Amino acid sequence: MTVKHSRPTSPHLQIYKLPLTGIMSISHRITGVLLSAGLLLVVCIFYAISQGENSYAAMQSVANFWFVKLMYWGFIYALFFHLCHGLRHLIWDFGEGFEPSLLDKYAKIELVAAFILTLATWIFI
């Protein structure tokens, strides 16, 4: 004879909606990892520059592909997003901004600020 236990199950992704602050936290960690990986590409660029004109020209021809340019701008957005989220953590270190009404507001400000900084970089470059 089997006894059925009726226990509540924990929420899963089809039921539970992750709050914006949770998404921002996960995104901050992901951008940190991607920025670390992107720095390896920066080292490759510096190495190509140090190897002379032919190596630099080869690196430039690869850098002109649309996908590489898209990765470059993604890297810049990730950098600014990571910076803005770090500033939010700095505000939290002072004990400010924990009110529920401010949590989502600051998260949206981060996203917009990172986009504006990326756009400003694109305009000035």
- Angstrom distance (rounded) from CA 102 to CA 61: 46
* pLDDT at 3 (0 to 100): 61
| pLDDT at residue 16, rounded to an integer | 75
Predicted TM-score (pTM) of the model is 0.80
Give the per-residue pLDDT at 8.
65
Per-residue model confidence (pLDDT) at position 1 = 57
Q: Provide the residue ranges of all domains of the chain, joining segments of one domain with +.
A: 21-124
DSSP 8-class letter at 14: T
Supply the pLDDT for residue 17: 80
The domain made up of 21-124 has a fold known as 3 helical TM bundles of succinate and fumarate reductases (1.20.1300)
Q: Which two tokens stand for residue 123?
A: 């305009």
| C-alpha distances in Å from residue 118, one per residue of 5, 86, 115 | 54, 16, 5
Give CA–CA dist 66/77, Å, rounded. 16
Which residue carries 């920025």 as its tokens?
A: 35
Query: Each residue's pLDDT tens digit in the chain (125 positions)?
Result: 566 667 666 666 667 788 899 999 999 999 999 999 889 989 999 999 999 999 999 999 999 999 999 999 999 999 999 999 999 999 999 999 889 889 999 999 999 999 999 999 999 98
Buried b / exposed e over 22-53, threshold 16 CB at 10 Å, is: eebeebbeebeebeeebeeeeeeeeebeeeee
Rounded Cα gap, residues 91 and 78, in angstroms: 20
